Structure 1
């Protein structure tokens, strides 16, 4: 699989006129998937598996933290955008749920928070951990870049759009966020939100972070799947509404048992429909 830089695309690559064909089960042609969030590893794994199933299909991935995937699809420079928000001009297919974990340093003994308290923390209304039953330490808020899907969903679900204070430290990648929570001094102070899969993987490998229960619900894959855990966002594939054999085939593969198994390595797969 090849990954072209976003710069190359913006310098003139367009997809209009790229031949895409399908005859029976034989899918052939190019597929370009654009994104800017933490889903890259999952999309790469899906793309590699898709190409094995359809050897004449070629998947190109454009991934940049500062890109606008939806606009790339609308302009014809990508076939699929990986996002967490629907767009009325595009067709949307959900392939997973992404739980949004609230993480603190392992030594922070705050037991749990409510959804309202999370909103108050990140909007600056609560500034001390002691107000939440935690240590006598000022809260250091770690935010995510404004263009990332996880931030859009986080703000919308908490009703704090545009209210996260400018003094918050902004970090793009989940792994860097987790390292910052671990390494911040004093160690009790930092709080951040990251994709649940990344947070659970960090805990499993012994990284010194804790995931705070929200509204007395533990952040786990089953509670995200059934909606009990209140902070989650859909992982969506957006495309133009006209039929496209390769796009349709990739969406179907992502929703298949094989595709959902790949998705489940980092995200919460969709509940199976009852037949």
Structure 2
């Protein structure tokens, strides 16, 4: 009888071990800007921690915050800071405000076709183009051709950041073509000689990044790592991960520490974003 019980216990333990082979499941949802980087982080972390399974999906920053508050994701990737209404919803859902982690820096690039002769714009000129006030490239030193504006869907944190910090709250041009992700914006601009779009600096392959001037009196600055880290490039931001404080322990806490450490920040640079200064990693 003892042998049978021992066998059953051993079998039960075996099933428990099998069932918990991926007990440290981590779900990540949110910003499309961060999705490629988050996937690279997940792949690298799972390679060094085989018992951890990390599932990454995009959908936009707003979608990520909605998932965080309804507890269908552990981590929310965000390309902007949490809004007061989103924070209130999270407090209502799990009793505390989410913990915010800065995970890297990003220069928000303005893309045009490689065939477009325009090389630089002021922030005001960019705002006028995307709001529809400026409609022809000749108004900003380019060809006599209508400007095609490519933008993001309004659930995108990049859309909201650009609207707040570049358009100063103004609406995008009614003619702006809404694209489902930064990669789609980039692809459209690369094929359209008269197109213009915006997105993370890491997505720049295939199109030209314009140098941006803060105003008419300042130099045009390119969105390089040095210029972003020093605050010289005028359109930059932190990218974030948010988590329910109750979940910020165990493997999730280890993962968040890892991605903000040397290994995780090396991947940031490999993907094309800019690592956090060491003073911001703790």
TM-score band w.r.t. shorter chain: 0.7 to 0.9
* Partner residue, 2:274: 268
Cα offset for 1:94? 0.7
- CA distances 1:134-180 after superposition (whole Å, capped 9, x unpaired): 11111111111111111111111114435102211111233322221
105, 115, 120: which is aligned to 2:113? 105
Cα offset for 1:67? 7.0
Q: TM-score, normalised by structure 2?
A: 0.78
Query: Map of 1:83-122 to 2, 5 A cutoff?
Result: 83-87=78-82, 88=87, 89-122=97-130
Aligned partners of 1:111 and 1:134 also within 8 Å: no
Question: Does 2:190 align with 1:182?
Answer: yes
Which has the greater radius of gyration?
A: 2
Question: Does 2:72 align with 1:77?
Answer: yes
SS of equivalent residue, structure 1 residue 147: coil
Could you tell me how far apart the structure 2 residues matched to 1:253 and 1:157 are? 31
Could you tell me how far apart the structure 2 residues matched to 1:65 and 1:260 are? 22
Q: CA RMSD in A?
A: 2.2
Question: Does 2:250 align with 1:245?
Answer: yes
Could you tell me how far apart the structure 1 residues matched to 2:150 and 2:167 are? 18
Note closer, same or farther for the CA distance 1:67–1:118 as it changes in structure 2 (3 Å cut): closer
* Partner residue, 1:197: 202
Query: Map of 1:41-56 to 2, 5 A cutoff?
Result: 41-56=36-51
205, 212, 215: which is aligned to 1:214? 212
Note closer, same or farther for the CA distance 1:28–1:227 as it changes in structure 2 (3 Å cut): farther
Question: Does 2:236 align with 1:232?
Answer: yes
Structure showing greater relative contact order (alpha-carbon pairs closer than 8 Å, 6 or more residues apart): 1
SS of equivalent residue, structure 1 residue 113: strand
Note closer, same or farther for the CA distance 1:273–1:145 as it changes in structure 2 (3 Å cut): same
Query: Map of 1:143-158 to 2, 5 A cutoff?
Result: 143-158=151-166
Aligned partners of 2:130 and 2:167 also within 8 Å: no
User: Tell me, which stretches of 5 or more residues in structure 1 are unaligned?
Assistant: 1-26
* Partner residue, 1:60: 55
Count of aligned pairs = 239
* Partner residue, 2:227: 223
Could you tell me how far apart the structure 2 residues matched to 1:60 and 1:197 are? 22
Moved over 4 A (4+): none
Could you tell me how far apart the structure 1 residues matched to 2:30 and 2:137 are? 35
* Partner residue, 2:7: none
Note closer, same or farther for the CA distance 1:237–1:141 as it changes in structure 2 (3 Å cut): same
* Partner residue, 1:255: 260
Could you tell me how far apart the structure 2 residues matched to 1:146 and 1:46 are? 26
Note closer, same or farther for the CA distance 1:52–1:183 as it changes in structure 2 (3 Å cut): closer
Query: Which range is displaced more, 163-172 or 54-63?
Result: 54-63
Q: TM-score, normalised by structure 1?
A: 0.80
